[in-house]
Amino acid sequence: MRTSPNIIITGTPGVGKTVHSEQLAQETGLHHLSINKVAKERDCFDGYDDELKSHIVDEDKLLDAIEDDVVKGGYLIDWHACDLFPKSWIDLVVVIRCPSTSILYDRLSSRGYDETKLQENLDAEIFEVLLEEARQAYDEEIVIELKSENDEDIESNCSRIAAWIDAWKQNQAQAS
């Protein structure tokens, strides 16, 4: 039985997944697992998408690369997708949202996204693609949606998730 939970922090690029994950790692002691970094460091790619100017991740190779660590618990899994991770690994799925398309547009523009990639990500946010993906892949009671448009949202979200982690750990301790 795990003594620390695994939490997916997901959402469209630019919503604040990494900021939330880094802050939560500092506050809770859980490990920030940036899937983009893992994919690069362990060469989990299966080609390159020229139109979107991004690597295509080999999901099987990625899962093999992280499985031994993640099954032990204590990870904040930071990535723009969530449905590839087995249900048995995951205790909470946090979908970070930025409903203000003007804020998200500015964040993505500042990253140098070209118009095609920028529009695809804005559309994904508008149509709640990642929220729907999370709801289809995991039990409804473990999927939460949090807004991230400013620093106050980040503070509030991290406090809420940290409180959830504490409650999860207490429940695990009582159950054992």
3 state SS of 146: strand
111 is in an annotated binding site: yes
The one-letter amino acid at 153: D
- The first and second tokens of residue 34, run together, are 């940036």
* Residue the block writes with tokens 């031994």: 68
To the question of whether residue 18 is assigned a binding role by annotation, the answer is yes
Q: What is the bridge-based pairing of β-strands 45-49 and 143-147?
A: unpaired
8 Å CB contact between 11 and 81: no
**For 55-75, how does the pLDDT look when each residue is reduced to its tens digit (9 = 90+)?**
999 999 999 999 999 999 999
Would you state the pLDDT for residue 100? Answer: 96
What is the pLDDT of the chain when averaged over all its residues? 96
**41-55, 75-89, 116-130, 149-163: range with lowest mean pLDDT:** 41-55
Q: Which domains are assigned to the chain?
A: 7-150 (3.40.50.300)
Using CA atoms, how far apart are residues 135 and 151, in angstroms rounded to an integer? 26
Would you say 17 is a known binding-site residue? yes
* Distance, CA of 96 to CA of 79 (rounded, Å): 11
34 CB-near residues (< 8 Å, 6+ apart) = 18, 21, 78, 79
As a whole number of angstroms, the distance between CA 172 and CA 90 comes to 14
Known binding residue 95? Answer is: no
CA–CA separation, 62 and 39 (whole Å): 6
Residue 16 is assigned to a ligand binding site: yes
Q: 11: annotated binding-site residue?
A: no
- Determine the pLDDT at residue 52: 76
